[in-house]
Amino acid sequence: MRISSRSFPHPVVGNGDDVPVAEFQAAYDFSSDKTTFYLKATVACSSKSLLDLVKKGKATHTLHVECGNTLFRHTYDFTTSEYQIALLATEVHDDIEVNAFIRATAPIPRYKVDGAHDDYGDATFDIRPGDILAVADGQVFDASQQADPLRRVGSLMLVEPSGEAADHALRYDPTGDKILIRLCDSDYADYAAMKATPNLTSHLTTTLVLPVLVEVLHDLEPEEQPGEPKWKTNLRQRLAGLKLPGAADVLEKAQQLLGLPIRRALRSARALYDKSDA
């Protein structure tokens, strides 16, 4: 969603020279931990007209967050100058596009913003809830580069149903830009139901991703080959970043790339065991 430099039926702060004496700006900070991405936005508006509307509850700051890779799309409203949201690693990966704007939350009859371009003259406008009143520059974040080792490797893989109702063992296809992990339909239904549960993430990683990663590491050429899938180049870069000793075998490399998932799975299982035994 790109909302800047559009033609609106009313003056919009930050949209070209609609309101040349005022600005709406947004700065973004992107970080992550083992299960979650954090996006912090800091906004500033120099238009007194809009500041008054936000203060009166007739307008709000809005963040629009979209990940085309996973089809995730959501808006977040806030009235403070700083705001932070949390996105589960299962919801987004690769490019995340963020835009900030101010929108009306109530009807505003005879709307007029201070400092509008002379072309608007004395015109007033009937604003409806949802109409955009200010826009800031957006930004795109690469979640696959910002995430921890588990999610960086996970961004190279895609789990999908095979479309077969009959039971079959896990399969994988390494020929595309992403490694496809295919589950029979019943197994995929169980995976989909559990993947958003933080306590189960390490178990799913150990069960699904680790064995496939071991297999592809066995066949990974040391140097880039003409026409090879994109994931191979990315995987070599991440292996180089680990700076493992030359004697490390593929099982060691796979575990380090995934942040020691077996250890995390065991600790998670122990915590669940201790809780049930209490």
Locate the domains of the chain by residue range.
24-144, 148-156+191-277
Q: What is the pLDDT along the chain (278 residues), one digit of tens a residue?
A: 555 457 889 999 999 899 999 999 999 998 877 678 889 999 999 999 999 999 999 999 999 999 876 778 999 999 999 999 998 876 777 678 999 999 999 999 999 999 999 999 999 999 999 999 999 988 988 775 444 444 456 678 889 999 988 899 999 999 998 899 999 999 999 888 887 665 676 677 788 999 999 999 999 998 999 999 989 988 998 888 887 887 889 999 998 888 788 887 887 777 777 767 65
pLDDT at residue 162, rounded to an integer: 92
pLDDT of residue 1: 54
The pLDDT of residue 205 is: 79
Angle between helices 250-257 and 230-242 (to 10 degrees): 90
SS3 content of the chain, % helix, strand, coil (to 5): 30, 30, 40
Question: What is the C-alpha separation between 252 and 48, in angstroms, rounded?
Answer: 59
* Residue 276 to residue 272: CA distance in whole angstroms: 6
What is d(CA 29, CA 139) in angstroms, rounded to the nearest whole number?
A: 10
Q: Which homologous superfamily does the CATH classification assign to the domain defined by 24-144?
A: Immunoglobulins (2.60.40.10)
